[in-house]
Amino acid sequence: MTPDTLMSAAHETPSYASRVRGSLLGGAIGDALGGPVEFWDTTRILGECGEGGVREYVAERAGGQDVFGRITDDTQMTLFTMEGLIRAGVRMDRGIGFTIDVVDHAYDRWLDTQEMSGPDGSRDGWLQGQQWLYSRRAPGNTCLSALHSARRGERHMPKFGLEAQNDSKGCGGVMRSAPFGWVPAEWAPSFDSSFFSAAQAAGYTHGHPTGKLASGALAVIVAALMQGMELPAAVDEALAVLREKPDYHETSAALEAAMAAVGQPATPETVESLGGGWVAEEALAIAVFAALSCPEPEQFLDALALAVTHSGDSDSTGAICGNILGALHGESAIPAELAFELEGRGTMLELADDFVYEFTQQDRLHGSYGPDTRWRDRYPGW
């Protein structure tokens, strides 16, 4: 291929699988870029990373050596969201509808990875057996406490699928919500259904309306991009769905501020005018602003650098921005110099492919209902 042919191929309409893989990898790269600098102020970031901000992985010490490209709890929980959605699809073999409660059970398995040294054989399914996931990566206290409460039965019965009893609108719901936007239209027949599923799942750990609404808004943006919309139109679609919900004002105001900021200098000062990203609507706004400011495939790294170079929750804003741009451009736009040493990339791509298989070729995987299906061993339907 000539350089011109390669450039043309990079701008072709991405396939569904490419968008899923791109959104997952893009989010994980943004997460890994932002993780090491999450608690740095902007002056330190610019001083140590240069005027362009965080454009390469900052080394972290682990096992007595420098490591690069480590993900945080943001990507861990995104992976378990994906697994939960696959298992919800498998559960339909029992004649039960596509129920999001199964995702709450997946978050209970994620909780094990934060508190155990490795799988102990008491859990089923494939993802929980991945040893590298058993590493505590600064998980949010709200997520931990809400999931512990559910495990103890403090949400009452049933154990899974009930809303957390707190008033938190932290970004721990929105940063894991992109997979709800990847579910094809045949399964989520309206943007409102994508919104509802993401908002419901965010509510398992974050009880404040804005924590749920911002999560739903991200799912709509991603779903619209998956269907071929341009990014400004996708944000408009999210705003239209939002405005039909109670308590929408905080989230819609944050998104409107992000859109209004486009055209201003793409600097940390402009990013920080939108907030710190510690709460859901601010994290979404920063990510949307960065993506809208650098919307072209060749600007992917520029957008991620903008999204993480600030004195706030850099890993979450980077993750959400990467989710958005990966869904827009597909995996061909992913910066190769960051993708090649991304922690867990093999697991991520395997899970992304399985996600695509479940939602596009379910009839080839499930067969008749019974205990002897290897796909069901990999993804039990509960």
pLDDT tens-place string over residues 312-369? 999 999 999 999 999 999 999 999 999 999 999 999 999 999 999 999 999 889 876 5
Token duo for residue 331: 């995996």
3-state secondary structure at position 173: coil
Say whether pLDDT at 1 is over 50. Answer: no
Of residues 347, 352, 345, the one with CA closest to residue 28 = 345
The answer to whether residues 210 and 280 touch, using CB atoms and an 8 Å cutoff, is yes
| Angstrom distance (rounded) from CA 252 to CA 40 | 28
Q: What would the mean pLDDT of 37-58 be, rounded to a whole number?
A: 97
Radius of gyration of the chain (CA): 19
Quick check: 370 pLDDT over 60? no
Strand partners, 305: none
Q: Please report where in the chains the tokens 């039960």 appear, as a residue.
A: 96
Predicted structure pTM score: 0.95
Four-residue CA torsion sign, 242, 243, 245, 250: positive
Distant-in-sequence, close-in-space partners of 189: CB < 8 Å, separation ≥ 6: none
Q: Which residues of 295-334 are buried (b: 16+ CB within 10 A; e: fewer)?
A: bebebbbbbbbbbbbbbbbbbbbbbbbbbbbbbbbbbbbb
Map out the domains of the chain with their CATH numbers.
13-55+67-365 (1.10.4080.10)
pLDDT-derived band at 12 (thresholds 50, 70, 90) equals: confident
Strand residue runs (E) in 21-161: 60-62, 65-67
Per-residue pLDDT tens digits for 32-47: 999 999 999 999 999 9
Long-range contacts of 224-227 (CB under 8 A, 24+ apart): 224/181, 224/191, 225/19, 225/181, 225/324, 225/327, 225/328, 226/16, 226/19, 226/181, 226/182, 226/184, 226/327, 227/185
Share of the chain above pLDDT 70, in %: 95
Measure the CA–CA gap between 25 and 314, rounded to whole angstroms: 17
- Mean model confidence pLDDT for the chain: 94
The pair of three-digit structure tokens given for residue 71, joined into one six-digit string = 């993900």
Q: Average pLDDT, stretch 118-133?
A: 96
Q: What is the pLDDT of residue 94?
A: 84
Residue-by-residue DSSP string for 145-159 = HHHHHHHTTTT-SSS
pLDDT of residue 153: 80
Least confident of 4-18, 119-133, 182-196, 201-215: 4-18
pLDDT, tens only, 150-181: 998 876 656 788 899 999 999 999 999 999 99
Residue reference for tokens 């769905």: 241
Cβ atoms within 10 Å, residue 211: 29
Grade residue 372 by pLDDT with cuts at 50, 70 and 90. Answer: low
DSSP code for 59: P
Using one digit for the tens of pLDDT, what is the confidence trace for 73-105? 999 999 999 999 999 999 998 888 889 999 999
